[in-house]
Each structure stands twice: as structure tokens, then as C-alpha cells.
């Protein structure tokens, strides 16, 4: 049986080593709290410094981070939000709960990120937000996006789940827009014990709302008022609620809040992983370079690479081929050689839920054509051993050779020619 390209024990891109095991051992053998303690605070502070944001607030998953970020928008019926179709469903799923108009923006065929040229016609006087993704770890064209949105007062959320370790003209995803979210799922560039998320932003008032929402408090509107001291019970300093209950009144409720507290164990591992980020991303880039070298010998293929001045984090390694027959034949050849190729992600506007909301074929023609005809992903993560990478490179070379022998020399897709879109 052919060897499959998965890390022993499961499909995960993260690598847990001695450093992570050491911090876990120190935590559980101490008398420190296992929730909302010093490790979480240290992780958040280090993360904020890393991305260059004023605030970093941890939560239990990337999905929860997105849910809370969207709640900060205070969207009302009739508001409009522009989103990308080229992402995992969690990026925009919270919008299904809201009575808002969602507009899908087509993608740039070279990066698979939201295309600013397609974004501009979708903006109306009802547009309140744009939610984009740094697909695969390649940052979107943020200068162009922000130039369109900032003068109009439109909030931009950057889903940076793929992009930790990427760079954008000297800056980092997480501080390129108004709000950013990250995922620390076990497949991501760092992990916090399998699940975890982070929200980064600069606004102090939003940061306070995030804290209240994740810490089982109400995200409400309050006014201070005087209290008759006789009404308040005698309280010791550590007792909860005395000030909140007796010294202020609630004038409105935005959201009820929930418990989305990252555990101390998760935060400790996350901090250790953040310290190793350069090493982990360097490994991804090394694997990507080797795959690029293979594709360079076959002119009918094109890797999805970062533009000049942009550093790709390679959460995903994506490339394009000339047409659907070639793609399907290549998938079969790779599978026969034990390579687990993927197609990420199915265009969201064509899923049953978004069809129910009125979306359908033809809305994002570039995204549709690339996914159905040309798009492929290959394994690319630090959990791959050197021998697995060697075998992956050999298998890709053999599969492309076999497909080329059957289909003939493909048209060159480099440089954004018509075949690539």
C-alpha cells in the first residue's frame, strides 16, 4: 500500500515538541490557575507585539473569534457586507444569523484573494463591512482594499487564519485592517492544543466589548449613578458584582456574552508555538520551494505565489493547471502514488445555505472557474519528514509527467494569461 502524506496520529500541520511539553509540565505541576491566568496574559501580549496591534484577545477557536468580530459591527437589517467566496465556511457563517445583505466579491486569479477591482462595484451606501481572507497564507491587496473602504467608513475584517507568519510590505496580517481574527486549530501555522483563536484590533472600546463577551459578561450599554450606601451589602474586595450591580444601570444590551476563555494550557502551548513561528514557517517555505521547482518544469502549471513585497506563510500550497481534464487526471495520478491532494475551498456562494439566501452560479466567475477546473492543493506543513517531502516531490514529478504524456504540452499559465482565469 502506498504511504499517505499525513502525520502519524492524524492530519495536523502543527508540530508539538519538547518546548511545548515543558511548559505544560510546569503549568500542571504548579498551583497556578488553569483558566484566565498569567499564561493567557503573556500569550496575548506577545501576540499583540508580533502582529503590531494594540490589543490581542484570545478565545476558544478561530470560529468564535469571527463570531465575536462580526458582533462588533452591530449590523442592522438592510446593512450590506461584502465577502469572499474563496474560504472555509466559518469565515462568513455568522452572517446567516443576521438579516443583512451579503455580496460575494470575485477573486484575483493570481492570488485567489478578494479582487479590489471586483470589490469597488459592490460597494453601496448600505455597505457596512468587508470580510476578506488571506487565502492560503498570502496576504490580500490590503492597500487597495483599505483605499476603497476607509474613506467610506466601512469596517474591514481580515480573516488571518492562514496568514500567521506572512508579511505585507513590512507589516503583518492582524494589523492591516480594523479587526483581525486568527485560528490556532491543529492544522494552522501554530496551534494552542488543537483549538484556539485570537482577535486583534486597536480600538480600546472594541477591546473592552470583546473582553466582556468572551468572559461571560453582558456586552451592554451602562450609565453610572449614585447608590445609597445602605442598599449595598458589606463586601470583601474580591467579591464579584458589587460595583456593577449597585453603581450603574443598564440602558441597552448588544449581546448576552458567553464563556470563550482560552485555557491556561492552551495559552501556554500557544506562546511556545509563537516563539517557534519563524522555524515552522521556514519549513513550510522550504517545502513550497521544492514544489515550485517541480512545477517550473511543466509550463501548464502555475503555483499561487505572493506578489513582490509580500511574504507567503504557506498554510496551503495551491497551484493551478490548464483545465478540468488535466486536473482530474492529475488528482488520480497523485492519489495512486499516495499523495493526498485537496481542493480548498468550494465556492461558498454555491453551497446550499447561501443558495437558500439567493446566491448562485455566475456570481463569481473567476472563483468558480478556478475551483471547478484548475485548482489543487498539496501537503505543505512542518509535520512532513524529509523522506515524505522527497517522496512528495518524486510523486508530483511522476504524476505530471504521466499526465503530460497523455494530454500533450499545456499552454503556459504564467503571468495571468487567459488560461489561468
* Per-residue pLDDT, 31: 87
* Per-residue pLDDT, 409: 46
Distance CA 172, CA 166 (A): 6
pTM for the whole structure: 0.92
Using alpha carbons, select from 97, 48, 42 the residue that is nearest to residue 75: 97
Which grid coordinates belong to 72?
Answer: 462588533
Q: Are strands 80-83 and 101-104 parallel, antiparallel or unpaired?
A: parallel
* Per-residue pLDDT, 412: 42
* Per-residue pLDDT, 248: 80
Which grid coordinates belong to 29?
Answer: 505541576
* Per-residue pLDDT, 246: 72
Contact 375, 117 (CB under 8 A): no
Distance CA 128, CA 259 (A): 27
Region for 274 from its dihedrals, namely left if φ exceeds 0, alpha if ψ lies in -120 to 50, beta otherwise: alpha
Using alpha carbons, select from 198, 259, 205, 177 the residue that is nearest to residue 44: 198
Which grid coordinates belong to 408?
Answer: 500533450
Using alpha carbons, select from 243, 227, 247, 223 the residue that is nearest to residue 235: 243
Distance CA 284, CA 271 (A): 20
Using alpha carbons, select from 188, 206, 348 the residue that is nearest to residue 281: 188
Q: What is the CA radius of gyration of the chain?
A: 23
Per-residue pLDDT of the chain (421 residues; tens, 9 = 90+): 344 433 333 456 788 999 999 999 999 999 888 998 899 999 999 999 999 999 999 999 999 999 999 999 999 999 999 999 999 999 999 999 999 999 999 999 999 999 999 999 999 999 999 999 999 999 999 999 999 999 999 999 999 999 999 999 999 999 999 999 999 999 999 999 999 999 999 999 999 999 999 999 899 998 887 665 556 666 666 666 666 677 788 899 999 999 999 999 999 999 999 999 999 999 999 999 999 999 999 989 999 999 999 999 999 999 999 999 999 999 999 999 999 999 999 999 999 999 999 999 999 999 999 999 999 999 999 999 999 999 999 999 999 999 988 766 444 433 343 344 3
Contact 310, 165 (CB under 8 A): no
* Per-residue pLDDT, 243: 63
Interaxial angle between packed helices 264-275 and 38-51, expressed in degrees from 0 to 180 and rounded to the nearest 10: 40
* Per-residue pLDDT, 150: 98
Using alpha carbons, select from 288, 379, 366 the residue that is nearest to residue 4: 379
Distance CA 193, CA 27 (A): 14
Amino acid at each position: 500500500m502506498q504511504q499517505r502524506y499525513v502525520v502519524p496520529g492524524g492530519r495536523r500541520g502543527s508540530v508539538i515538541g519538547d518546548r511545548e511539553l515543558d511548559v505544560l509540565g510546569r503549568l500542571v505541576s504548579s498551583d497556578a490557575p488553569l483558566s484566565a491566568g498569567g499564561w493567557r496574559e503573556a500569550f496575548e501580549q506577545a501576540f499583540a507585539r508580533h502582529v503590531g496591534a494594540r490589543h490581542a484577545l484570545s478565545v476558544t477557536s478561530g470560529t468564535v473569534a469571527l463570531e465575536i468580530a462580526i458582533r462588533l459591527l452591530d449590523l442592522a437589517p438592510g446593512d450590506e457586507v461584502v465577502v469572499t467566496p474563496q474560504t472555509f465556511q466559518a469565515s462568513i457563517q455568522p452572517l446567516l444569523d443576521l438579516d443583512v445583505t451579503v455580496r460575494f466579491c470575485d477573486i484575483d486569479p493570481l492570488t485567489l484573494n478578494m479582487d479590489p477591482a471586483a470589490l469597488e462595484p459592490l460597494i453601496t451606501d448600505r455597505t457596512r463591512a468587508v470580510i476578506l481572507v488571506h487565502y492560503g497564507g498570502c496576504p490580500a491587496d490590503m492597500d487597495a482594499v483599505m483605499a476603497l473602504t476607509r474613506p467610506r467608513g466601512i469596517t474591514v475584517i481580515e480573516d488571518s487564519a492562514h496568514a500567521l507568519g506572512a508579511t505585507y510590505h513590512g507589516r503583518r496580517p492582524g494589523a492591516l485592517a480594523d479587526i483581525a481574527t486568527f485560528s490556532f486549530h491543529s492544522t494552522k501555522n501554530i496551534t494552542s492544543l488543537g483549538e484556539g483563536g485570537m482577535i486583534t484590533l486597536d480600538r480600546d472600546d472594541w477591546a473592552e466589548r470583546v473582553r466582556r463577551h468572551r468572559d461571560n459578561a453582558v456586552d451592554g450599554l451602562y450609565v453610572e449613578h449614585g447608590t445609597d450606601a445602605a442598599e449595598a451589602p458589606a463586601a470583601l474586595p474580591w467579591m464579584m458584582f458589587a460595583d456593577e450591580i449597585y453603581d450603574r444601570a443598564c440602558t441597552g444590551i448588544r449581546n448576552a456574552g458567553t464563556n470563550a476563555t482560552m485555557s491556561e494550557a492552551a495559552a501556554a502551548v500557544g506562546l511556545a508555538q509563537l516563539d517557534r513561528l519563524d522555524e515552522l514557517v521556514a519549513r513550510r517555505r522550504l517545502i513550497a520551494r521544492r514544489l515550485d521547482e517541480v512545477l517550473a518544469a511543466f509550463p501548464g502549471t502555475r503555483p499561487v505565489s505572493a506578489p513582490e513585497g509580500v511574504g507567503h506563510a504557506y498554510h496551503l500550497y495551491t497551484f493551478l493547471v490548464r483545465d478540468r481534464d488535466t486536473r482530474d487526471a492529475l488528482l488520480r495520478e497523485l492519489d495512486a502514488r499516495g499523495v493526498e491532494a485537496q481542493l480548498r475551498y468550494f465556492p461558498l456562494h454555491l453551497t446550499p445555505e447561501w443558495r437558500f439566501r439567493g446566491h448562485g452560479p455566475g456570481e463569481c466567475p473567476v472563483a468558480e472557474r478556478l475551483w471547478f477546473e484548475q485548482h489543487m492543493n498539496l501537503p505543505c506543513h512542518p509535520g512532513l519528514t524529509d523522506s515524505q517531502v522527497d517522496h512528495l516531490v518524486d510523486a508530483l514529478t511522476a504524476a505530471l509527467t504521466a499526465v503530460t504524456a497523455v494530454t500533450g504540452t499545456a499552454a503556459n499559465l504564467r503571468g495571468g494569461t487567459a488560461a489561468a482565469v
